Structure 1
C-alpha cells in the first residue's frame, strides 16, 4: 500500500493512495478463510467447502468490502502516523473508474486538518468582574411585585362600574341556538376582566357592569375550539352580576411572607436579596465571559479551516434570513449568500470553538454523567406528562445529547480560564450592570 502526498498548502492536504491488486486479493482471501468454518453448501460438510469454490461463489461480493476496508485502513493508518485530525469528513475519489479485478486501486484523498492551537498565558489576560449588591430599593421593588401576585379582591363601593382588571362574580348560562349546552353554566364564578380566561370578546362586554346587572354576552366560539360541537358557533351567555371587586395588593407583612414559604418578612427579604444577587452574578458572568472571548479572539492567532468557516457562515446567513422572514418555515427559498460580516462572525466562532475545545482537552475538562443527567432532567420539565418519551428521545439521539453537552463544556472551560486569568472584582450599580448586559444584546 502506497500513500503519496499531493497537496500540502496551509491546512489543506491531499494524498494518492494505491492499494495493490495483491493486497486486495489477500484481503479477500482473509475474509473467505474467516467465513469458511461456518459455510454450508450442498455436497460438502459444514466448513469443508473448497476455497476455490468459495471464491467463485462469494469473491465478487467480498471484493467491494475488501476495497472499502483497505482504503479506510490506509487512511486511518496515515492519520495515526501524521497526527492529522480532519476538520470534516475527508473527500475520497477512486481515480481509475475503469478498474477491473486484478488492477491496483488508485484513490485521491483530500481534507483540511485541524490547526495546531498555540499555548496561551492566561495570567496575562486582565478582566474586570462586575459585582452588584441588592440594595433596599431593589428588594422593596421585588416585594411589591410579590404583593401584586398575592393580591386580593375587595368589593367596590355600591353602584361602581367594573373596570379592566377588576373581578366580577357572576352566574352565567350559555346557549347555542337557544339551547343550553354542557359546561356552559356556573354560579358565583369569579372572573378577572382582562385575564383572557374566557372566549375572546366575553370579558370586554362585562366592562362597565354593576352589581345586580343582568347582561347578555354574545360571542362566537373560535374555529379551533377544543369542543368540536361548539367550534365556530355563535352563543349567548345570560349573566347575572353578583359583585364587582377591585384588586388590592397584599399587605407586605409576616403573613404575606408566609404565603411564599418564608418564616417571616425578614426571612423573605433575605431570600429575595440572595436571589437578586444570584441573578446579578449570572448577568455579570455573561459580561465577563464576553470580555474574555473578546480578549482571546484578539490575542490568539492560528489558521482556520476554510471548510468550517464557510459552513458556519452559511448557517449564520441562513438563520438571520429566517429571523428576518419568520413567515417562511421551510427551506424552499432562494439560496442565501453569506456576506463579509457573516464570514467575519463565522471566523470568530470557529476560532473560539477550536480554541476552547483545545484548552478543555489539555485541561482534561469533562462534563460528568451527573451533570448531564441534571441537564436532561431540567429539559424534561418543559414537557410535563411526557417525561418518559423525552428521556427515550435523548437516549436515542446522540446529536441532541451533544447539543446539551456543548454549552456546559464551554462554560466549564471558561470557568477554568477565569481561575488562571487576572480577574478583578469591581462593585457597580445595578444600572451599570443593566447597561453592560444590554450592550451584549445589541452586538
Structure 2
C-alpha cells in the first residue's frame, strides 16, 4: 500500500492511497480459501468446491467487502501512523466511474482513494501561574431566607372571605365572559375562576380593574391583547369581559413556623430554613461559577493564539447563527432593530465561533494531558437529568441517544469541560470577594462572550454560544387571556 501526501497547506491535508491490484487479489484469495470450506453449493460436497468456482460466484462481493473494510479502517490507521488527529471525519473520495469500479472489483485495477481532512494543531500547554480570578461570594441573610420562604408559602396560603372591596393581594372568585367585537371567543369564558390580584396571571390591564369591586358586583372591563399574543385571532385586539364577582377573600397572615413547614412537607421550620438556604446558595454558586469560568476562558484566550480547523469553526458558527436567527424570529426583530447589520453580525459571531473552537481544543488538550475521564456513572446521571427535563418523552430521548452516532458526545463534553475547569481552579490564583447579591447578579454585558463591542443581535444568544449560560431563564410565557387554562387552549 502506498500512502502519498499530496497537500500540506496550513491545517489542510490530502493523502492519496494506492493498493495494487495484486495485493487486493491476494486478500480476496485468502478470503475465498476460508469461504470455500463453508459454502454449500448444489453438486459439490462440503469443502470440495473448487476455489475457481467460488471466485466466479462470490469474488466480486468479497472484493466489495474488502474495499468497504479498507475505506472504513485505513483512514484512522494512516492518521495514527502519521501522528495526526483529524478535526472531523476525513472526506474519502474514490472513483465513481462504473467501468473503473468494475475493474477494481475484478482485481484488474489498483484501488485508489484520497483522504481530505484538517488536522488538530499541536498545542503546547503553557503555565497557568499567571492566571488570576476573582470569585464573588454572597452571604445569604436571614432576611433573604425569610423572603424566599414567604414566596414559597404562597402555594400554601389560605384566604378568608371579606365584605369589603377587593384590594391588591386579595383573591377574587368570579364568572367572566370575554368578547371581541361583541362576539364571545373560544377560551374566554369561565365560572368560579379564582384570581389573586397582582399575580399577573391574566393579560395586562385585567387585574387592575378588579380593584375596588366587592362580592355581588358586576362590571364590564376592557383590555387589549398583546400584539405578540400566541392566539392569532386575539393578538392586538381590544376585548371586553363581563365580570360577576362572587367572593372577595383577603390573604391570611403567613407565619413562618413549624405548622407552615409541615404544610410544605418539611418536618420543622429549622429544616425548612436549611433547605431554602441551600437552594439560594446553590443559585448564587452557579452564577459565581459561570463568572469564574468566564475569567479563566478569557485569560486562556489571551494565552493561546493558533489557527483553528475551519470545518469546526464553520459548524460552530452555524449553530450560533441558527440560534441568533431563531431568537430574532421569536422576538419579531431584525438586525436593524439591534443596531447592526447581518454582515456585521456574521463577522462578530464568526469570531465568537473561532474563539469557542480554539478554547475547546485547549481545554481538551489540558484534560487529555491530565488524564481526565468521564465515567459511565457521570454519563448516566447526565442522561437522567435530560430525561427529567422532558417528562413523557423518555423513550424518544433514550432512542435518540442509542441510535444517533455521536449523540453521547453532547452528554460527555460539558462534563469533561467542567472537570477541566475544576482542575484549573485548583491551580490558578483565586481571590474570594464578598459582594451583594445585586453585584453578583448585575449584567456584566457578557464581555467575555462578545468578539466585538456591539452585542448584535442578542447578548443572551452570545452567552449561550460561549458557555451554554447555565441558569439562563427562558423567555416568560405569554400572559393568559384571561385565565391560563382557557387561553392556552387557543394558543396551542
TM-score, normalization: structure 2? 0.70
Q: CA deviation at 1:266?
A: 4.7
Q: Partners of 1:72 and 1:155 in 2: how far apart?
A: 76
Deviation per residue, 1:133-159 (Å, 9 max, x gap): 112442343243234443221222x3x
RMSD of aligned residue pairs (Cα, Å): 3.9
Deviation per residue, 1:33-67 (Å, 9 max, x gap): 22212211121112321111111122222333333
Partner of 1:64: 64
Q: CA deviation at 1:162?
A: 4.5
Q: Give the match's secondary structure for 1:38.
A: coil
Q: Partners of 1:340 and 1:111 in 2: how far apart?
A: 25
**Is 1:295 the counterpart of 2:299 in the alignment?**
yes
**Is 1:356 the counterpart of 2:354 in the alignment?**
no
Q: Which of 124, 128, 133 is equivalent to 2:134?
A: 128
**Is 1:279 the counterpart of 2:283 in the alignment?**
yes
Partner of 1:191: 194
Q: Partners of 1:131 and 1:152 in 2: how far apart?
A: 37
**Is 1:46 the counterpart of 2:46 in the alignment?**
yes
Q: Partners of 1:14 and 1:410 in 2: how far apart?
A: 31
Q: Partners of 2:245 and 2:428 in 1: how far apart?
A: 70
- Cα pair distance change 1:261/1:5, threshold 3 Å: same
Q: Partners of 1:380 and 1:401 in 2: how far apart?
A: 14
Q: Which of 323, 341, 349 is equivalent to 1:342?
A: 349
Deviation per residue, 1:214-258 (Å, 9 max, x gap): 999xxxxxxx9xxxxxxxxxxxx99893x4212344133443344
- Cα pair distance change 1:109/1:62, threshold 3 Å: same
Q: CA deviation at 1:171?
A: 9.9
Deviation per residue, 1:178-209 (Å, 9 max, x gap): xxxxxx999xx6733567999xxx99998876
Q: Which of 362, 374, 398 is equivalent to 2:381?
A: 374
**Is 1:318 the counterpart of 2:325 in the alignment?**
no
Q: How does 1:231-270 map to 2 (within 5 A)?
A: 241=246, 243-262=247-266, 264-270=268-274
- Cα pair distance change 1:205/1:134, threshold 3 Å: closer
Structure 1 alignment gaps of length 5 or more: 173-183, 217-223, 225-236, 329-335
Q: CA deviation at 1:386?
A: 5.1
Q: CA deviation at 1:261?
A: 4.4
- Cα pair distance change 1:74/1:254, threshold 3 Å: closer
Deviation per residue, 1:75-132 (Å, 9 max, x gap): 3432221121111122222369452342223323221111112112223311111111
Structure 2 alignment gaps of length 5 or more: 177-188, 221-230, 232-241, 333-341, 450-458, 463-492
Number of aligned residues: 405
Q: Partners of 1:144 and 1:208 in 2: how far apart?
A: 26
> Are the equivalent residues in 2 in contact too, given 1:193–1:204 (CA < 8 A)?
no
Highest CA radius of gyration, 1 or 2?
Answer: 1
TM-score, normalization: structure 1? 0.77
Q: CA deviation at 1:275?
A: 2.7
- Cα pair distance change 1:64/1:388, threshold 3 Å: closer
Q: How does 1:73-84 map to 2 (within 5 A)?
A: 73-84=73-84
> Are the equivalent residues in 2 in contact too, given 1:154–1:246 (CA < 8 A)?
yes
Q: Which of 417, 420, 439 is equivalent to 1:413?
A: 420
Q: Give the match's secondary structure for 2:442.
A: helix
Q: Which of 73, 97, 118 is equivalent to 2:124?
A: 118
Partner of 1:228: none
- Cα pair distance change 1:388/1:307, threshold 3 Å: closer
Q: How does 1:134-173 map to 2 (within 5 A)?
A: 134-156=140-162, 158=163, 160-162=164-166, 166-168=170-172
**Is 1:404 the counterpart of 2:411 in the alignment?**
yes
Q: Partners of 2:53 and 2:14 in 1: how far apart?
A: 40
Q: Give the match's secondary structure for 2:133.
A: strand
Partner of 1:233: none
